[in-house]
A and B are shown apart, each in its own frame.
Chain A
Amino acid sequence: MTSEPLQDRSHAVDPPLGVTRVRQIAPSVGVLAVAFAVGCAFVALSGGNPFHAGAVLLYGAFGTSGNIAGVIAKSVPLILTGLSVAVAFRVGLFNIGGEGQLYAGALVSAALGATDLGLPSFIHLPAVLLAALAAGTVWGVIPGWLKARRGVHEVINTIMLNYIAIQTVDYLVSGPLNAGGYATRTHPIVPAATMPELWSVEPVPVSWGVVVALAACVATAWWLFNTAGGVEFRAVGLNPKASRAVGIADTRKMILGMGLAGGLAGLAGGLEVVGLHHTLYAQFSPGYGFDGIAVALLAQSHPVAIIPVAVLFGALRTADRWLQLVAGVPRDIVIIIQGVAVLGVGLQTALTRRAPAPHGPPVQPATAS
């Protein structure tokens, strides 16, 4: 029995940062490898050559500057919705409402951004984005409040709020807010409310929205790990009862968490409108709010790990049509890869849940008392 009274000897016991990181990342990388292997098998089954398909995917995502811009355009909303889901996970809640919050944010920014208010861009644009954030926050706080104060399960409420937001946008875009003409879309965003271009490239330029999304990740990570509020937030996620017993206002943290999650998804919607489409289409999102769940799971809810995972998913979603066109295999293989990855994460959690603490011996911590 070698244990000694605890002392502050952090330098002696901490493994080097790199080692810890590798241990954390390894499971997700493993899951992705399996997912891609399954993808290759399906390519082969459909009569394609996996290596060829892989090359086509790589080219489709990163082969030209236009393709890269396309990947970025898809990654931005995925980063923010992934972050949204991750934040909710950190406080122990499951935000399936990212899609609805995204629509809420998009709707408000389309409404506020389409009229020239005579304001300079440095006021109008931030105001529009803040409004998108606020709308998403409201859409997140509702299920958060119901969960924290009334015990209604957030999964049920976020799903229902998704329908309300999507259908409301459908109605408004084809009715009161319709710009006329054949397309179901709203009036275009005025220049003062448009996100400026960061990289002008054909066919779709990259806006500064990508910087906003990256900044959101860094800020969230910083808040979660370096502030007292963040530590308490995570404590509630890991053990709400113990947190309450030491006086942390756990219900308030839950409402905050859902509000924050909603705000991030709302911001994603706002950026889609002012940074990419410059108008609001009905059904503009291919399910970013739901893909965010997969992103958060694979990133193990780490705000910075969200970024590479979102880019990977964005790349797959951008390059998938090339699979069909060039490699001659169904683009749905990309969805299979995503699905296997999510399944793998779930399986991993299920298999390791009963496992011992990471540093403890398998049965009982055999420390002398």
Chain B
Amino acid sequence: MSSEPAIKVQNLTKRFGATVANEGIDLTVGAGELHGLLGENGAGKSTAIRAIAGSVAPDEGTIAIHGRSLPLGSPVAAIRAGVGLVAQHFALVETLTVWENIALGVEPGRWGLLDRSRARRHAGSLIDQIGADLRIDDRIEDLTVGNRQIVEILKILGRDSRVLILDEPTSTLSPVESERLFAFLRRILDGGTTVLLVTHRIQDILDYADRATVLRQGRVVHRSQRGTWNENELVDAIVGETNVERNVFASTSGSRLQLRAAGLSTNQAGIRNLDRVSLEVDEGTLVGVAGVAGNGQETLIRTLAGLVPHEGRIVLADTDITDHTAGQRRRDGVAYIPEDRHAEGMVAPFSVVDNVVLGNHTRYGHRFLLDRNRVRRRSAELIQGYNVRGSGLDAPMAALSGGNQQKVVVARALSSQPRLVVAAQPTRGLDIGAAAEVRRKLVEVAQRGGSVIVTSADLDELFDLCHRIVVLYAGRVAGQLGRNAFDTGKVARMMTVGRDSL
């Protein structure tokens, strides 16, 4: 390997209309280095990595890969230079197998015929090289999220990429899966590959990266490296002046029972995502639901929201809501914050106004006619205090950044003064500031006597936020821990083996 840096970006500038996404960014990533790129939502990380991968043509600047300068805005040239971008959302064909996904698009063969055995050998050798816990004939749909992430990376590596760019690879992974991913990344780094890691999780950087660059408002505001950095410095660099308090929780645990769910089971196409789950939650209490992705956490939240047919009973403050539809439960006082805001949280072409009051339009009118002015006043009121930023209330929801979309979703859910908030990964993919705001809002719900059930892939977040943590394993309650008994090791054991002792 030459002494040239793997990635050398100089003076990268990109404007979208009036907004400057990147301004004079310099970024140097040494060969064989794990380099973290940090920043809030909208800080310009995505634009920068897309420029390197060629899918965005910068207005100014130069990009060199292993010393060779890259024609700008050409994905093909970037791929030829060995740049591989693993996007945040997987691009795998779920019904196909691991080897088929790896071969897809670069199928070996001649005269249009697929050389199956060569494709299988290729996939097998990739897996062997890095010792992944995968079989080439596994179907993607049967894999855990962590393993899907690894297949996605293998796919890129299989195209001879020497410079790997990962966009938020750990945002959907459990702690154990993240650890595995980084062990895997370490092996490919040792093999000479370079990794540029885009992330919100400072812990990932502190634990695993060699160097880090922090972007804020499109500029580089901080550079540091292993040995010289510390957490506070990075946090300050990411969010700017403001100091983020982490422990926002004020204990106000009430005494009256708010929710009693007994024997909840679901059966979706033969899969029991929930298996006799029982849960009681008091007023003024925050309960965290932990688990390795796919062990029933999201199903539990959606079941409580009334979106999944289920067995068992649900009683909310003395009312049996078992047979109530999602709409009735909303009126009963259950607010739902979905995990996937694009699929379940918003109507993208609708304006911000209409999204804030979605599902409540019937309240703003005389009989049939909708009172547009009231709707818009009310939605402006509702998102006040959520610090939503964008180009206007009438802009389509799709034009907001992810973090701001999530704030709108949360604002809508909490606008009805709910008794019970069920939230699936409400801070996923948010920057530090936005995540703290969402957490603060959830605490406010508990402070005024409401209850919150929240899932998160980030255990620290649950520890900070919740009175109690319920761990799900294979759709069952593996155990519960009270606030004074929180212990990462215990929770991790329950998450991975289903009980807290080995």
Measured CB to CB, the nearest residue on chain A to B334 is A247
Nearest to A356 among chain B residues (CB) is B398
Q: Mark A114-150, 1 if CB is under 8 A from B, else 0.
A: 0000000000000000000000000000000000000
A363, B444: Cα distance in complex, Å: 35
Q: Is the CB of A357 within 8 A of B348?
A: yes
* Bound Cα distance A126, B396 (Å): 42
Q: How many A-B residue pairs have CB under 8 A?
A: 189
CB-defined contacts of A14 to chain B, threshold 8 Å: 394
Interface residue A64 (Cβ < 8 Å from any Cβ of B)? no
A6 B358 Cβ-Cβ under 8 A: no
Bound-state CA distance A5–B392 (Å) is: 8
Interface string of A344-369 (1 = CB under 8 A from B): 00000000000011111111111111
A interface, by DSSP: helix, strand, loop or mixed?
loop
Could you tell me if B393 and A7 are in contact, using CB atoms closer than 8 angstroms? Answer: yes
Q: Is B404 within 8 A of A367, CB to CB?
A: yes
- Those of A95-112 within 8 Å (CB) of chain B: none
Give the interface residue-count category, chain B.
35 or more
Measured CB to CB, the nearest residue on chain B to A244 is: B326
Residues of A within 8 A of B343 (CB): 239, 241-242
Q: Is the CB of A367 within 8 A of B307?
A: no
CB atoms of A245 and B305 under 8 A apart: yes
Residues of A within 8 A of B400 (CB): 365, 367
B47, B348, B383, B412: the one contacting A246 at CB < 8 Å is: B412
Find A366's partner among B16, B363, B434 (CB 8 Å cutoff).
B16
**A-chain residues with CB within 8 Å of residue B217 when the two chains form the complex:** 1, 368
Q: Are A3 and B361 in contact (CB under 8 A)?
A: no
In the complex, which of the residues B347, B380, B391 contacts A243, with contact meaning CB atoms closer than 8 Å? B347
A8/B390 in contact, CB under 8 A: no
Q: What residues on A are CB-neighbors of B368 within 8 Å?
A: 223, 227-229
Chain A residues 240-260 with CB under 8 Å of chain B are: 241-249
B19 CB contact (under 8 Å) in A3, A231, A356? A3
Q: B219-275: which residues lie under 8 A (CB-CB) from chain A?
A: none
Q: Which residues of A contact B56 (CB under 8 A)?
A: 362-363
CA–CA, A242 and B344, complex, Å: 4
Known: A14-B394, A244-B307. A6 touches B346 (CB 8 A): no
CA distance A362 to B15 in the complex (A): 10
The reply to whether B380 and A8 form a contact with Cβ atoms under 8 Å apart is yes
20 further interface pairs, Cβ-Cβ under 8 Å (given A246-B336, A247-B328, A248-B359): A1-B218, A8-B377, A13-B394, A14-B394, A228-B362, A228-B370, A235-B347, A235-B358, A239-B347, A241-B344, A247-B325, A248-B327, A249-B327, A365-B42, A365-B399, A367-B401, A368-B42, A368-B43, A369-B41, A369-B434
The 6 A-B pairs with the shortest beta carbon distances in the complex, nearest first, are A361-B16, A246-B359, A247-B327, A357-B398, A228-B361, A13-B392
Chain A interface residues toward B at CB < 8 A? 1-10, 12-14, 223, 226-232, 234-235, 238-239, 241-249, 356-369
